[in-house]
Amino acid sequence: MENNHELTPLEKHVMFFDINNDGIIYPSETFQAFRKMGRGIFRSMFAAVLIHITLSHKTRPGKCPSLFFPIVVKNIKYAIHGSDSGAYDSEGRFVAEKFEEIFKQHANQNAESFTHNEVKELLKAKREPKDYFGWANASVDWNSLYDLGKNKDGILTKETVRAVYDGSLFEQKVGEHASKK
């Protein structure tokens, strides 16, 4: 990444996947990152393919597609999709008020966490009309987060959700996976 560029929270979120720290994320790096978090080979491969097919063209400058499906970190703000929480603004900055709002509106059993049904309720409530691409992306994002971040009781805590927004959850998961070996 450029040294004079202050990373936005969204850029920090995706930098975990930039294994060689060059500002460009390739599918092989995404695969490696998922494996470091303890995800299986198939799941890691599927995630890498899905993420890069859906995001690469949005972050690449120019019109010419690349068969390597790179994601350009400094352009990740162009991959923000509709029908999501709005916790990132259009520049990739974290919006604390929007983050708090999702818990106020959808954390019904406990103000500090989500159940799986509350995640489904959040997704349904945030759907923008006819934004099928956004619906699919938000569903994959939130269901993946729930799967990765839920505790042993099946609860996704507010702290965990915040950690995914700044990217620190990924490093936590790497540490947890390493301690299990």
| 31-46: average pLDDT | 97
- pLDDT band, very low/low/confident/very high, at 157 (cuts 50, 70, 90): very high
Task: Give me the pLDDT at residue 25, please.
Answer: 98
| 9-30: average pLDDT | 97
Task: Give me the pLDDT at residue 2, please.
Answer: 52
List, in sequence order, the alpha helices (H) in the chain: 9-15, 27-36, 41-59, 96-106, 116-126, 132-149, 158-166, 168-180
Instruction: State how far the Cα of 92 lies from the Cα of 11, in Å rounded to an integer.
Output: 7
Distances (CA, A) of 87 to 1, 118, 158, 167, 181: 24, 17, 13, 14, 35
Residue 46 region, left (φ>0) first, then alpha (ψ -120 to 50), else beta? Answer: alpha
DSSP-assigned beta bridge partners for residue 72 = 24
